[in-house]
Amino acid sequence: MIVGTEWLIEAEGCNQDKLRDETALRGIFARIIEDLGLKVIGSVWHKFDGEGGVTGMTALTESHLACHTYPEHGIATFNLYCCRMRPEWNWKENLRAALGAETVQVTRIERGSKIFYSPDPKSEIRNPKSKTAGGDA
Amino acid sequence: MIVGTEWLIEAEGCNQDKLRDETALRGIFARIIEDLGLKVIGSVWHKFDGEGGVTGMTALTESHLACHTYPEHGIATFNLYCCRMRPEWNWKENLRAALGAETVQVTRIERGSKIFYSPDPKSEIRNPKSKTAGGDA
């Protein structure tokens, strides 16, 4: 039983100033929401002090959107979880344009009673016999 | 470069009334936050009308916590993303107690420049050569 799709995005080699720019990150969320026709319930945003990054979370009627940035590492992570079918957003081109991301890795996961992965070819898959955290044996 | 760990939880066979009970779900979040010593920045909660489920999202200084419930299917999904080391929370036992979950599947994903999966043995992994969504070739 698939109840939704979640995309996990890792963007590397990003511009550090952009990763501290809450306005820029809010702008990315606004584009995603508009492009995919999503409906916002509410949001929480936070810029960590000094050189710190930004956390953004938006609850959607279709589920949620989140980002966390790590300026010291040039990395930003995004999550988009949609419980209704949506077209694929062009994360690679859009994050390159908005954040200067050099590489963008996209993993798609079906949520529900069985999880099916579409791992990015660059990712490594750990042996399923390695530790799992508190699930059924 | 690992910037954090995300746990994706699928709970099945849950009590439908509990999946519509925002107070019960807020209670689960409160336990996770207390047990793992997490710090809340802000939250968004929404109960969908009538027979609908609940969406909850909490931004943490350590990243985020989210849930979406599907009472019609007896399913609840949770995400916990922590950018600092945390002990494993006992999702199976705690969701059984709180939601009557019959089965709980836990998948752990390292976030950052390479994603490493610890898939639950019950999950299926789709061929990495199948479609990926907008990432680098």
Residues A19-47 have a mean pLDDT of: 97
Distances B133 to A90, A106, B123 between C-alpha atoms, Å: 8, 6, 20
Q: What are the catalytic residues of A? A: 63, 68, 83
Please tell me if residue B36 touches chain A, with a CB cutoff of 8 Å.
no
* Chain B nearest CA to A9, separation (Å): 9
Examine the pLDDT at A1 and tell me if it is beyond 50: yes
Residues A52-59 have a mean pLDDT of: 98
- Indicate the SS3 state at residue A105: strand
pLDDT of residue B133: 39
CB pairs under 8 A between A and B: 251
Cα nearest neighbour of B12 on chain A: A113
pLDDT of residue B84: 79
Which H or E element spans position A29? helix A22-36
Nearest to A52 by CA among A97, A28, A17, A8: A17
Q: What are the catalytic residues of B? A: 63, 68, 83
Are the C-beta atoms of residues A116 and B84 closer than 8 Å to each other? no
Distances B60 to A8, A103, B41 between C-alpha atoms, Å: 18, 27, 5
pLDDT of residue B59: 97
Please judge whether B44 and A43 are an interchain contact, meaning their C-beta atoms are less than 8 angstroms apart.
Answer: yes
Using pLDDT thresholds of 50, 70 and 90, give the confidence band for residue A132: very low
> Residue B98: how many CB atoms within 10 A of its CB?
19
Residues of B in contact with A107 (CB under 8 A): 115, 132, 135
Residue spans of chain B under pLDDT 70? 122-137
Please tell me if residue B90 touches chain A, with a CB cutoff of 8 Å.
yes
Please judge whether A44 and B43 are an interchain contact, meaning their C-beta atoms are less than 8 angstroms apart.
Answer: yes
Q: Say which of B4, B103, B107 has its CB closest to residue A136.
A: B103
Residues of B in contact with A118 (CB under 8 A): 126, 128, 130-133
Check the CA dihedral B8-B11-B16-B21 and report its sign. negative
Please tell me if residue A121 touches chain B, with a CB cutoff of 8 Å.
yes
